Chains A and B, each alone.
Chain A
């Protein structure tokens, strides 16, 4: 009897939690398919339309170019940060480098520098160099946030790989570089991919840098959202359509790494 009661309470709790998680997301998806007049009602029965998506990709919103900017900025950041971070992570994980603790602390502590501090000097420098409102500028500042973080994360994954097979191969005469390429890299791949996706998500959602460094040409998706706040009020149905465009690719990636993600998180935090 009591057990049955607990069982019901637990189901009810889980249902409530899932609703709290999903509701804001579902509401945004619904609104994205509503006509403007329906967007201002809370009815869930309405005639769905794809017009909002057509509108946001047309003039004057040009969501397409923002998608391009976001893809290029996030993609390039990952391509630079992850290889650098993987090499450093291997070194931190396997070698007893002199001053290793200090170096690792240096890497970690940069993670805790507020983004405003980083962007202020870069804003002044890019202004002098005429690089404001370029993707290049965004990539540079994004690297600051992302590189230390992935180093930390990948180190957690490499720590979890036993070093026995590496040592065996080296005794057999394989060089350290070959060991890294042929043994460590394949084994660390799931971790590296997880970290890459994680890093992509961080950059894709990045807001502060893009708000300060872009005006028109290099505007990314999260900044695009703000532009739907016009003098005629907030255009909710268009904001929601843009929101769907920001969210869908990231959700797919997030669900792909969901399993590894939990492990990577704790590996990085505990070790």
Chain B
């Protein structure tokens, strides 16, 4: 077979799978987003309502709340995860038995099911018998009896903690990979010239890590925007609506209230946000490659 036709033939199976499993549902939900469809009353899509579902979203408190919750969640989790991952990578790139050990176990939080992480943090932060709630109260007596998951801000804090615990390892691996790919010479000569470690890190290492850090940040943003599993198993969106992320809100609209039209519109709003970020991301990947080959 000619290379040219082969090159396309090889792409066919993957594209069949991708088209059938993502583009078809995307189209279907876009069509539904412009219709009125309450699944408890009708089994077929109802009347065409134009942009009503979208307009409704922006006038409704549930949506506004979930946008606010998601924004806070994304900003804090991306910032903390990134700083931790970069610091960890700087610490772990050195040789040593404990370094190697830590690098190995780093994969465990990442491999753990997010739903299970939510469950186990819920257990550990139970004010009556949770080991972390008790332990923290032992160290800081003022924290005794704090209702971790019943307070809006603390519940958000615990939710963030589960996410940071889950994702920091993966991001650390990416930073470690980045560190391994930058040339060592400048760093070494600076060290011989007597530059301090801090100056080397901020003056030489971090500037060269810009590309990797940007990619890591965008990836983490995407993952944080999808936050769902731990919301279900840890807080259930509560107390009140204080941890109701956009993904969880859409789930409620679609599968608790069965408002398919509105849920589809909301899903498309989330898709639009993520698509914008991903286009930016892919652009960055391409320009980054240009820089690397230049």
A97 touches B21 (CB 8 A): no
Check if B148 is an interface residue, CB within 8 A of chain A: no
B104 touches A114 (CB 8 A): no
A234 touches B123 (CB 8 A): yes
A80 to chain B, nearest CB (A): 7
**Which of the residues A112, A117, A223, A269 comes within 8 Å of B29, measured between beta carbons?**
A117
Residues 124-168 (chain B) with a chain A CB within 8 angstroms:
124, 128-131, 134-135, 165
A14 touches B98 (CB 8 A): yes
B278 touches A116 (CB 8 A): no
Alpha-carbon separation in the docked complex, A223 to B110 (Å):
19
B120 to chain A, nearest CB (A): 5
B27 to chain A, nearest CB (A): 8
Question: How many residues on chain B are close to A (CB under 8 Å)?
Answer: 100
B29 touches A121 (CB 8 A): yes
B124 touches A27 (CB 8 A): yes
B22 touches A118 (CB 8 A): yes
A147 touches B108 (CB 8 A): no
Alpha-carbon separation in the docked complex, A21 to B169 (Å):
9
Check if B267 is an interface residue, CB within 8 A of chain A: yes
Check if A148 is an interface residue, CB within 8 A of chain B: yes
A120 touches B3 (CB 8 A): no
A262-B1 CB under 8 A given contacts A14-B91, A222-B113: no
B32 touches A144 (CB 8 A): no
Alpha-carbon separation in the docked complex, A18 to B117 (Å):
17
A115: chain B residues at CB < 8 Å are 226, 228, 247
From A11, which residue of chain B is reached at the shortest CB distance?
Answer: B98
Alpha-carbon separation in the docked complex, A42 to B128 (Å):
10
B14: chain A residues at CB < 8 Å are 84-85, 87-88, 107, 147, 151
B271: chain A residues at CB < 8 Å are 113-114, 117
A81 touches B17 (CB 8 A): yes
Check if B105 is an interface residue, CB within 8 A of chain A: yes
A201: chain B residues at CB < 8 Å are 111
From B172, which residue of chain A is reached at the shortest CB distance?
Answer: A262
**Which of the residues A14, A262, A266, A267 comes within 8 Å of B102, measured between beta carbons?**
A14
From A205, which residue of chain B is reached at the shortest CB distance?
Answer: B113
A22-B105 CB under 8 A given contacts A27-B124, A88-B14, A113-B22: yes
B24: chain A residues at CB < 8 Å are 121
A24: chain B residues at CB < 8 Å are 117, 120-121, 124, 165
Check if B109 is an interface residue, CB within 8 A of chain A: yes
B176: chain A residues at CB < 8 Å are 262, 266
B107 touches A255 (CB 8 A): yes
A239: chain B residues at CB < 8 Å are 119, 123
B17 touches A84 (CB 8 A): yes
B25 touches A90 (CB 8 A): no
Alpha-carbon separation in the docked complex, A17 to B1 (Å):
55
A109 touches B278 (CB 8 A): yes
Residues 19-71 (chain A) with a chain B CB within 8 angstroms:
20-22, 24-25, 27-28, 31, 39-42
| Top-9 shortest CB links A-B | A266-B177, A144-B21, A88-B14, A95-B7, A254-B111, A121-B28, A112-B278, A205-B113, A91-B10
Given contacts A84-B16, A91-B6, A269-B216, 9 further A-B contacts (CB under 8 A): A17-B91, A21-B108, A28-B123, A114-B226, A115-B247, A120-B264, A147-B18, A147-B21, A205-B114
